[in-house]
Amino acid sequence: GVVTQVPMQNVGVQGSLDRAQIAAVVNKHIAEIRHCYEKNLINDPGLSGKIQEEWTINPDGTVGSVKTKYTSMKGGDVAGCIGSRIRTWQFPRPKGNGYVIVNYPFMFDSVGF
């Protein structure tokens, strides 16, 4: 399965971290996202689509809440798996002890499956 990197302008960030800092952490963990997708592909080889996740980065860089804002996937639990992985990620500490809200779209395609 393929997880397509989205253009940075499609990533929404509210707070004191910039898109590049967010993308660096997401890219570091992209294999976890791919794993969530591929384990669902085993049961549904045609599974593809877009999932948009929203999460809050706490002042210490840990992830607070995570929720799925949108999914076009029919079946599987890719979004639930992604959410559980994002909760474990560590981001840079936001400046000024603020919280950061991230809206991040992930695109999935079952190329070669």
* Tens of pLDDT, residue by residue, the chain (113 residues): 677 766 667 777 888 899 999 999 999 999 999 999 999 999 998 899 999 999 999 999 999 999 999 999 988 899 999 999 999 999 999 987 789 999 999 999 987 54
- State the distance between the two ends of the chain, measured CA to CA, in whole angstroms: 7
The pLDDT score that the predictor gives to residue 96 is 79
> Residue 71 in 3-state DSSP?
strand
Tell me what pLDDT residue 2 has: 73
Contact residues for 96 (Cβ-Cβ < 8 A; gap 6+): 16
| SS3 state of residue 58 | coil
Q: 99, 64 in Cβ contact below 8 A?
A: yes
Q: What is the DSSP letter of 109?
A: E
Total-model pTM: 0.88
